[in-house]
Copies of this chain bind each other. A is one copy, B any other.
Amino acid sequence: VHLIIADAEIELIPDELLKFPAVRATARRRGKKPSECLLDSSLHYSALRHLKDGGRRGRADITHFCLLLALDSIANRKGMLHTFVHTRNDLVMEFSPDVRLPKNYNRFAGLMEDVLVNGGVWSEGRQLISLKKESLKSLLERLGGRAYLLEEDGKQFSSFASLRDATVIIGGFPHGSFISDVGNMCRRISISGEKLMAWSAVSIVLARAFPAKLYF
């Protein structure tokens, strides 16, 4: 499975907000430049009201959980998973299957800042997280094969085994719709009649797409 957390609400603080007092205060407290800090809805709530789509932005926590689940999964340990994050600014991060992410949110936010500022993370000459400018559409073209996009009002879907060699796209935002245009490049499916948080969708896909013999 190629797993893409797409339109993820992860970004550095955008120019329009750099002068806001709350933004400057939180950056100062961390000893960082505001332009090198992650936008965080729980810290920058008041400033976000002045931003387009402010009600859904600054949610690295959603991607954090999705990644912890994906990278710790048995499928990933067996080399059957390939994990990407695509952000609202059309940046694509690719994660080495053996990268160990911080479990603590504040440390994860620091890691994302490093990736976005430095263009990736390396260890002993090997790249653990890469970053490139790429739209969701071009990422799908690059990966090829069948792609499924999960959304609440997609087509009822239960044949999880067919996800196995495909690309699965899960939205990395709290509510609303995908903002990326993917035209007709993927089937839009729903795995439950209800709205799910992104991590619940990741967890169901991981547990059901792979053969039961992956467990006992």
Residues of A with Cβ closer than 8 Å to B?
Answer: 29, 41-42, 59, 61-62, 65, 68-69, 72-74, 77, 103-107, 156-158, 174, 190-194, 196-197, 199-200, 203-204, 206-208, 212, 214-216
> How many monomers of this protein are in the complex?
2
Tell me whether B203 and A207 are in contact (CB under 8 A): yes
Chain B residue with the shortest CB-CB distance to A207: B207
Tell me whether A216 and B203 are in contact (CB under 8 A): no
Query: How near does chain B come to A38, taking the closest CB pair, in angstroms?
Result: 12
Answer whether A42 and B216 are a contact pair too, CB < 8 Å, given A65-B65, A200-B69: no
Inter-chain CA distance A203–B107, complex, in Å, is: 23
Answer whether A74 and B203 are a contact pair too, CB < 8 Å, given A61-B104, A61-B105, A158-B216: no
Answer whether A69 and B106 are a contact pair too, CB < 8 Å, given A156-B216, A158-B216, A193-B216: no
Which one, B41, B156, B207, contacts A204 given CB within 8 A? B207
By a CB distance below 8 angstroms, the chain B residues around A74 are: 192, 194, 196, 200
Which one, B42, B191, B197, contacts A68 given CB within 8 A? B197
By a CB distance below 8 angstroms, the chain B residues around A77 are: 194
Tell me whether B62 and A65 are in contact (CB under 8 A): no
